[in-house]
Amino acid sequence: MSKMLGVFVGLLLLVGLAASAKFDELFQPSWAMDHFIHEGELLKLKLDNYSGAGFGSKSKYMFGKVTIQLKLVEGDSAGTVTAFYMSSDGPTHNEFDFEFLGNTTGEPYSVQTNVYVNGVGNREQRLNLWFDPTKDFHTYSIFWNQRQVVFLVDETPIRVHTNLEHKGIPFPKDQAMGVYSSIWNADDWATQGGRVKTDWSHAPFVATYKDFQIDACACPVPVTSADSAKNCSSSEDKKYWWDEPTLSELNLHQSHQLMWVRANHMVYDYCADTARFPVIPAECVHHRHH
């Protein structure tokens, strides 16, 4: 009996999930299809002085984990941005951003994260990666449930955005989100505040992808946000893996990893920017980064 029950629970855990490693099953080009290059299991997006390129998921999702493996633009990538993000639609959208900011050869590649809630962003954090992301593929993930949003690099948490609704602070948990990636020219701000411009003699700039995975709750488009949130939350009838109590916050090892990242690699945190925010943003007062 217990064995059968285990199989049954296992089936319940899979309800509504999408998981794959193939680009065409999960995604489609959004723009500049002539800037896509398929080489076996690899997908390359290129940026030149005519255009960048981008793609988006075929479905929208509520809670779970999305992951890509990415090798960033090699050599002089100043002025370029490669982005991997989740976003809902409309003026009051929610969004979770990874933005990889190019640099001149030999300078560290930095990654900027941001969180939009109900159309409001301005929550930038920036860190220098502890490896050269242009030499090998690395894994970048966004994990999302009703308690927290976690940004991960090679499964190391680099940022946590905690649900603080009990403090009156809105949390993104009621809008299904698409998964997107793109490469574009942002030399008005991306590298050293826009002081270093894109050198088009190095074009095309190429970002290379593989192993796309979405282990999340797919939401049919006509369904309302309230119904999507209900359908993608655990109940007596169904249990989702992202609602497991152990995933409601970082474990001790992950907390130590996050402390190490913040202490050794963070170069900007909006919570500490008193010039931009003379009054500390409410979530910064309450967020625990330990």
Q: How big is the chain by its Cα radius of gyration, in Å?
A: 19
List, run by run, the mean pLDDT of 10-residue segments along the chain (290 residues).
45 50 86 92 93 94 95 90 94 95 83 95 94 95 96 97 94 94 85 79 94 91 74 86 92 96 96 94 74
- The pLDDT value recorded for residue 7 is 44
Sheet with 125-128: strands ordered across: 27-31, 53-57, 178-185, 80-87, 95-101, 110-116, 125-128, 266-269
- The pLDDT value recorded for residue 198 is 86
Distances (CA, A) of 21 to 137, 180, 183: 15, 15, 21
Spatial CA neighbour of 134 closest among 106, 115, 156? 106
Annotated catalytic residues are 95, 99
- The pLDDT value recorded for residue 71 is 97
Distance, CA of 88 to chain centre:
13
- The pLDDT value recorded for residue 18 is 55
The domain segmentation of the chain, as residue ranges, is 21-284
- The pLDDT value recorded for residue 5 is 44
- The pLDDT value recorded for residue 196 is 76
Peptide bond into 29 cis (omega under 30): no
- Provide the 10 A C-beta neighbour count for residue 9: 11
- The pLDDT value recorded for residue 13 is 46
The dotted CATH code for 21-284 is 2.60.120.200
| Farthest-apart Cα atoms in the chain, separation | 68
- The pLDDT value recorded for residue 262 is 95
